[in-house]
Amino acid sequence: MNFPEDCKISPLASVSPDAQIGHGVEIGPFATIESNVVIGDGCKIMNGATICWGTRMGKNNRVFQNAVIGGIPQDLKFHGEETTCEIGDNNTIRECATINRGTASRNKTVVGSGNLIMAYCHIGHDCVFGNNIIISNACQFAGEVEVSDFAVIGGGSLCHQFTRVGRYVMVQGGTRFGKDVPPFTMIGREPAAYEGLNIVGLRRHGYTAEQIAEAQEAYRRIYLCKMNTSQAIASIEAEMPKSEIVNEIVEFVKASKRGIIK
């Protein structure tokens, strides 16, 4: 095997000679690295983890014990097509988490950079996850889910296929949801419902009082003014000043195919 000399690969690991291994990579005992895998510089693959065919991993990721990255989709429409599982940089993927590769639908599953994916989470085929997301223990995401930057998903949450989650969303632990979650909001309860603006999260990330007030007014019209969603969006577009945060809310809601959380 012609891997960089500064790698630390346990003699008890199974590493395909066809895998591309970057500088400074550590691979623990009983880890498995299959063929057609790329692992970037500085990654640490801990004992018992499996990196499957078609995985493309960036730099400085940590994959903990018994996680499985790039496994084939749990989808009966999958017929062995060549697809990928693409992981960015600086992610932490904890014990027994699973991330499946794509199907012919999108050809790839994508997880961005700087994410924390805690133990026993599952990210299904063709999902697209952004950056700096926190997914607490045992969350389950079906295929073709989209989760945007800085979302925080509470432990044990269940997300239906094709659902979208906007930026800076906070999902209460144990929530089941199958509708889109608009940006900057908090959801929870059973059935899942809008619980207000994620004000603490927005303040932590530098949003001003004026921007927060704009988002509050937009969601007041969507959720509290006894208008349907189309009427609320029309009201926002006609009566509220244009701004970056309001435009993001409007465009997210207008693009929703499943409808938004009520």
Question: Quick check: is 126 catalytic?
Answer: yes
Q: Of residues 71, 102, 122, 125, which has the active-site annotation?
A: 125
Question: Quick check: is 70 catalytic?
Answer: no
**Alpha carbon distances (Å) from 154 to 47, 137, 169, 188, 222:** 27, 8, 11, 10, 24
Strands 108-111 and 128-129: parallel
Residues 214, 78: Cα–Cα separation, whole Å: 44
DSSP type of residue 35: S
**Cα angle, residue 213 at apex, residues 211 and 215 outer, rounded to 5°:** 70
Question: Quick check: is 160 catalytic?
Answer: no
- Cβ atoms of 248 and 167 closer than 8 Å: yes
Q: Of residues 143, 155, 166, 188, which has the active-site annotation?
A: 143
Residues 239, 180: Cα–Cα separation, whole Å: 24
Residues 173, 182: Cα–Cα separation, whole Å: 17
Q: Of residues 89, 126, 149, 180, which has the active-site annotation?
A: 126
- Catalytically active residues are 125-126, 143
